[in-house]
Amino acid sequence: MKITIGHLYPDLLNLYGDRGNIQCMKKRCEWRGIEAEVKEFQLTDAIDFSSLDIVLLGGGSDREQMLVCDQLKTIQKDFKEYVEDNGVVIAVCGGYQLLGHYYDTSEGRIEGLSLVDLYTEQGSPRLISNIVIENEAFPYPIVGFENHGGRTFINGNKALGKVSFGYGNNGQDKEEGVMYKNVIGTYLHGPLLPKNPHVCDHLLARALAKKYGRAELEPLDDAQEKEANEYIVHRFTKS
């Protein structure tokens, strides 16, 4: 079995340890004897979405997102087809904002991909915090760090989780992230996946299910991952 991960524009969108998300998916495949290939795409590269099993869209500064968004228009149609066809996407921070229709900033509007029905508006102050969210579909909480000026509104879509500590999508509705088909968008970095192996395995399982029709993942020894996760949960929600 083999998983191909497409990393979109690592030159520009690589703000908060996104390399860790890639490394985590890659290792958790390899430890199970699943081959994992990472393809990095630069801004002007053509992307054949049909060759990809997981797409990672990382975080960049507002300025860098502005640079990316022009190019995104050229891949919008293919990317949209990939998503509607249950392609797996993990989009973090700036990448999460780009999933939506637009991000309005004081410098102007950053047009998004409109892959998911959501939008973002700049707010003040930046929402900067450790964060803990809960989702019953996952066996234990999802933890990370958030740092975003944008307030994201997901128009009734399913959230990735309910906020038990931190701000979340917009600091108002206690929701964080979005889940749409096989897309996860989130403000959580830290990076997201190493301390949340359940989320990583969720993505891998979805990708395998789509490609091979079955998705049993061999369990791994996640003691160290869980300890790092529990440390954050305990420190911020149980004191």
Active site residues: 93, 189
Give the one residue of 27, 80, 101, 174 binding another protein; rule: CB under 8 A: 27
Give the one residue of 34, 67, 215, 217 binding another protein; rule: CB under 8 A: 67
For another protein, the binding residues in 166-225 under the rule CB under 8 A are 189-191, 194-195, 224-225
Nearer to another protein by C-beta: 166 or 185? 166
Give the one residue of 45, 48, 84, 227 binding another protein; rule: CB under 8 A: 227
Site for another protein contains 100 (CB under 8 A):
no
Judge if the upstream peptide bond of residue 194 is cis by omega within 30 degrees of 0.
Answer: no
Q: CA-to-CA distance for 94 and 74, rounded, in angstroms? A: 18
Q: CA-to-CA distance for 239 and 226, rounded, in angstroms? A: 19
Whole-number minimum distance, CB 220 to another protein, in Å? 11
Site for another protein contains 149 (CB under 8 A):
yes
Judge if the upstream peptide bond of residue 125 is cis by omega within 30 degrees of 0.
Answer: yes
Supply 9's token pair.
């524009």
List 4's β-bridge partners, or say none: 37
Q: At 99, is the secondary structure helix, strand, or coil?
A: helix
Q: How many other CB atoms are found less than 10 A from the CB of residue 231?
A: 12
Which positions touch another protein (CB under 8 A)?
11-12, 14-20, 23-24, 27, 61-64, 67, 126, 128, 130, 145, 147, 149, 189-191, 194-195, 224-225, 227-228, 231
